[in-house]
Structure 1
Amino acid sequence: MGTRDRIVAAAEQVINELGLARATTREIARAAGCSEALLYKHFSRKEDLFHAVLLERMPALTPAVARLSGQVGVATVAENLEEFARAAIAFYRRSLPLSAGLLAEASLLTGFRAMLAETGGGPHLPILLLGAYLREEQKIGRVDADADPDSAAALLLGACHHRSVLGSLVDLGPDDALAPGLVATLIAGLAPR
């Protein structure tokens, strides 16, 4: 593992242990086994380091969406959505500490928004891609023609995010237990009539 990767991994560890507000460059450098000067050789600002953690160390939903798009017409829509819901809950659960910190820190949020604008990325993309998957299933008759794929995608991902927030506050049992019921309820509104 190179120095830059070691610093990013240490930043993730420190953020998880201390929270974003208390994750200082001094603490991160100590955890990475390097000097603050070396840290700043790789990252010009603390915000850049936090953005690297978010983009490089957090599990992305894009691979789960890519798998899902390859499942059009394969297995059942419910099975495909359950697998995706489990991945989404895991993603939101793991990324919640960092994303909450971003929302609470104005300079980090401003920098993150600028980075998203430059790269064309953003947290809305999984919803759009999930909606596209449902539209493809709709075209082959596995989703009702009158269903709204984009609303269904927003409902599913919103519920997954909500579960991760609640699960951070209280013990709701295993996250995997939610996916089947959540998807079954959603499918009831999507199933061809």
Structure 2
Amino acid sequence: MTDEGNREGAGPLTGGALTRARVLDAAARLIGTVGLVKATTKQIAREAGCSEAALYKHFRDKEEIFVRVLRERAPRLAEAIAELPARAGQGTVREHLEAVVLVAVPFYRQSFPMAGGLLASPELLAAHRRRLDNAGPHHVSSRLADYLRAERRLGRIADVDPDATAMLLIGACFHRAFLEVFYAGEGPADVLRPGALEDFARETVRALLGGIEETAG
């Protein structure tokens, strides 16, 4: 997952930057295999090919590593959502919402192994919550609601509750990601419908915008 030689306009990572990137990559791999609680800093350092002392030059503790993995190694959901309100009135609402789905599902899919360990440890969860201050996961749906509210003011969507609509879309993405992680390709053939993520995005947004109530006449 390291972008050592693939960063646009920049050379390969070296020195401390390379060590930091390798630590994050190693942490992401271990959290996905052994879980957050069992992934110790010693294991992460060994997987990254550095000493534990070198690891602590870049991160205060495992909690900070977890936060940085989410922010730098997972699909950038928060950033994608934060940009939406400024795009109200541009393009189509359908295109914007489908783009959200295409980022949100991979984000939640990648986050589940990390979040599972976090939720299983009340102490770690409390520490994580304090460190986030007010920048918690609720911002995903609230910022999406801000975008929908702006589109409603422009008359581009119906007079529906933006907060409820945002929760419906994000909830659908969350459940889709959960099914993918839970079954890991070993579930019933019809467990994921629509099968392809692009089809899921298109049909979910279509149902959300069009509704399912039969029209009169």
TM bucket by the smaller chain? 0.7 to 0.9
TM-score by length of 2: 0.78
Which of 182, 185, 188 is matched with 2:204 structurally?
182
Q: Could you say which residue in structure 1 is the equivalent of 2:157?
A: 143
Contact 2:37 2:118 in 1 (8 A): no
Which of 91, 116, 138 is matched with 1:75 structurally?
91
Extract unaligned runs of 5+ from structure 1.
Answer: none
Extract unaligned runs of 5+ from structure 2.
Answer: 1-12, 186-191
Q: Could you say which residue in structure 2 is the equivalent of 1:35?
A: 51
Moved more, 55-64 or 103-112: 55-64
Q: Could you say which residue in structure 2 is the equivalent of 1:156?
A: 169
Tell me, in whole angstroms, the C-alpha distance in 1 between the residues paired with 2:121 and 2:48: 23
Q: Could you say which residue in structure 2 is the equivalent of 1:115?
A: 131
Supply the AA of the counterpart residue of 1:154: M
- Higher RCO, 1 or 2 (CA under 8 Å, sep at least 6)? 1
Mapping of residues 1-40 of structure 1, within 5 Å: 1=13, 2=17, 3-40=19-56
Which of 123, 130, 133 is matched with 2:147 structurally?
133
Partner SS for 1:86: helix
Structure 1 residue 96 displacement after superposition: 1.5
Tell me, in whole angstroms, the C-alpha distance in 1 between the residues paired with 2:151 and 2:205: 15
Paired residues, number: 188
Moved more, 86-95 or 4-13: 4-13
Q: Could you say which residue in structure 2 is the equivalent of 1:166?
A: 179
Contact 1:68 1:84 in 2 (8 A): no
TM-score by length of 1: 0.87
Structure 1 residue 6 displacement after superposition: 2.3
Q: Deviations over 1:52-89 (max 9, x none)?
A: 22233222312222443343222321222111111111
Supply the AA of the counterpart residue of 2:179: L
Contact 2:75 2:103 in 1 (8 A): no
